[in-house]
């Protein structure tokens, strides 16, 4: 091979090698672009909602420590909740929601009577049970001092009446405040058309709520029975005179209802007559009790 040609090839190879080395070096020293930090999620606005700090039973008078503020996502705050106003709750979008907000403001003002939203509720009486961490709603409270316990517990259109009770007439003492009962009465009267007397049993009232046994409006922890001498019942106004007549006619027996049968309003009952019927068979007489 011509020495001149060989020299030219070597020179070209050297130049190529130097160029390749420069390219590699440039790539190796190229600065790495800085990593883009992930944007932090936006913090959801929170509202301060008034909640119960412990289980509040019916008749409880609110005091410091019973209720307090708790952070609540503002976008799920119900218009009926009581808030401190620091973070506005979502604006009501329907006419019904606006009515709820207006009613809540009116009730809170009446209940509180001044002071902050929480302090103004001190002294109010719990009308319906409120569980721990459950938002406090004005409709579950009644302003303290506006009436006694029974006036608070009684539902509209109802009256409280007391009737005597014993272990025998009170289902062995297993009837407790909050239970629902039927009231029955039995008496003897002359049978129609003669033939002796029959025992007439009638249900004076059905599905009646028991408000108290003696002066106890709630059962103690783990109590299974309560023996007392007087039971206070919640009676519809239209049945007050009926109950007064029944008390004057004789003893009333209470029949405990199952919780599954406690739904629906209270009402009147029915009458059943019981008597003895004599049956003759093969010359022998047998008395059989029948009810009609």
Three-state SS string over 15-31 comes to: HHHHHHHHHHHHHHCCC
The answer, as to whether pTM is greater than 0.85, is no
Which CA distances in Å does 163 have to 6, 114, 236, 243? 130, 41, 15, 9
| pLDDT at res. 135 | 95
Residue spans of the chain under pLDDT 70:
1, 28-41, 87-115, 144-148, 192-195, 269-280, 283-292
108 shares a domain with 211: no
Number of domains in the chain: 2
Domain boundary among 94, 120, 151: 151
| pLDDT at res. 229 | 93
265 shares a domain with 229: yes
Which 3 state secondary structure label does DSSP give 188?
strand
| pLDDT at res. 187 | 82
Report the 10 Å Cβ neighbour count for 246: 19
Q: Per the domain annotation, does 212 fall within a domain?
A: yes
Residues in the chain, total: 292
Q: How far apart are CA 97 and CA 93, in angstroms?
A: 7
Domain boundary among 151, 179, 197: 151
Cβ neighbourhood burial of 179 (10 Å; 0-12, 13-18, 19+): buried
Q: How far apart are CA 168 and CA 189, in angstroms?
A: 23
Domain boundary among 87, 118, 151: 151
161 shares a domain with 270: yes
Domain that holds residue 272: 157-277
């Amino acid at each position: 091979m011509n020495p001149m040609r060989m020299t030219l090839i070597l020179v070209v190879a050297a130049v190529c090698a130097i160029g390749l080395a420069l390219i590699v070096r440039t790539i190796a020293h190229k600065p790495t672009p800085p990593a883009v930090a992930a944007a932090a999620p936006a913090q959801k606005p929170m509202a301060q909602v008034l909640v119960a700090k412990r289980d509040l039973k019916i008749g409880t008078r609110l005091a410091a420590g019973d209720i307090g503020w708790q952070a609540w996502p503002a976008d799920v705050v119900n218009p009926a909740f009581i808030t401190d106003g620091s973070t506005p709750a979502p604006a009501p979008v329907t006419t019904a929601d606006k009515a709820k907000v207006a009613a809540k403001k009116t009730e809170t003002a009446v209940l509180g009577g001044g002071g902050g939203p929480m302090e103004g509720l001190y002294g109010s009486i719990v009308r319906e049970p409120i569980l721990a961490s459950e938002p406090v709603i004005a409709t579950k409270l009644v302003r303290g001092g506006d009436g006694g316990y029974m006036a608070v517990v009684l539902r509209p259109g109802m009256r409280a009446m007391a009737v005597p009770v014993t272990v025998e007439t009170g289902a062995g003492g297993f009837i407790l405040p909050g239970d629902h009962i039927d009231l029955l009465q039995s008496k003897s009267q002359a049978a129609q058309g003669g033939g002796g007397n029959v025992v007439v049993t009638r249900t004076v009232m059905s599905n009646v709520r028991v408000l108290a046994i003696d002066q106890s409006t709630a059962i103690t922890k783990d109590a299974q029975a309560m023996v007392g001498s007087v039971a206070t019942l919640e009676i519809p106004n239209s049945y007050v005179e009926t109950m007064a007549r029944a008390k004057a006619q004789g003893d009333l027996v209470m029949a405990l209802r199952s919780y599954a049968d406690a739904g629906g309003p209270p009402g009147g009952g029915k009458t059943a007559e019981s008597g003895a019927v004599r049956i003759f068979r093969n010359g022998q007489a047998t008395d059989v009790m029948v009810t009609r």
